[in-house]
């Protein structure tokens, strides 16, 4: 890819496979990979869960916005976004102005299964926290976020049953075509 190619952002709800697909795409496209959540944790020397607990969601979103803005000003890269990065209009604008965005999609039941099976997530990510059932909370958040994911993304792909190893080449081929016509 050329130095002036657009970034390739991956968005979607927690558990859709953004981090895994990003690594595979980095290899396929020979681009560096950034995970905005990992970068937030590195810069704050804290887990996302601790940031939410100590400072609240607004402080976390401020950090997230700054990290996405910083990453977007660097060399062309694959950037895996946190599931809520699209909540801020300014972050969506950064994504739209500096890259191409793929929305990874899975059903609420699949997401719940993946979230529950990720032991490390319990230590580093905020819990599903409302008084609703975990499944209902995922459904509620997805319903609110779907229009924002649609607004921020250029392409969508289901991770419901597909293996990430099979999805990465499809996304890479789409990105090559789109970045050449940009």
Give 149's DSSP letter: H
Within-domain flag for 126: yes
In a domain, 85, yes or no: yes
Predicted confidence (pLDDT) at residue 98 exceeds the cutoff of 70: yes
The pLDDT assigned to 2 comes to 52
Flag whether 130 is in a domain: yes
Residue 2 lies in a domain: no
Mean pLDDT along residues 69-84 = 96
Q: Which domain holds residue 73?
A: 7-180
SS3 content of the chain, % helix, strand, coil (to 5): 60, 10, 25
Is residue 43 situated within a structural domain?
yes
Confirm whether 64 is domain-assigned: yes
- pLDDT tens column, 101-158: 999 999 999 998 888 887 665 555 555 555 557 888 889 999 999 999 999 999 999 9
pLDDT at 78 over 90: yes
Contact 154, 14 (CB under 8 A): no
Whether residue 1 lies inside any domain: the answer is: no
User: Does any domain span residue 70?
Assistant: yes
Report how many domains make up the chain. 1
Q: What is the CATH number of the domain that holds 146?
A: 3.40.50.300
């Amino acid at each position: 890819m050329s130095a002036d190619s657009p970034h390739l952002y991956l968005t979607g709800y927690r558990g859709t496979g953004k981090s895994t697909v990003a690594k595979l795409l980095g290899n396929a496209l020979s681009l560096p990979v950034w995970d905005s959540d990992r970068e937030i944790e590195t810069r704050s020397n804290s887990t996302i869960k601790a940031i939410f607990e100590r400072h609240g969601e607004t402080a976390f979103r401020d950090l997230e916005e700054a990290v996405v803005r910083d990453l977007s000003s660097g060399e062309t890269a694959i950037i895996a976004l946190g599931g809520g990065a699209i909540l801020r209009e300014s972050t969506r604008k950064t994504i739209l102005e500096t890259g191409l965005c793929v929305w990874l999609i899975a059903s609420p039941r699949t997401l719940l299964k993946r979230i529950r099976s990720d032991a490390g997530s319990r230590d580093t990510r905020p819990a599903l926290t409302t008084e609703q059932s975990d499944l209902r909370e995922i459904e509620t958040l997805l319903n609110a976020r779907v229009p924002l994911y649609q607004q921020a993304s250029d392409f969508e792909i289901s991770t419901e049953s597909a293996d990430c190893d099979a999805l990465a080449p499809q996304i890479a081929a789409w990105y090559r075509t789109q970045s050449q016509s940009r």
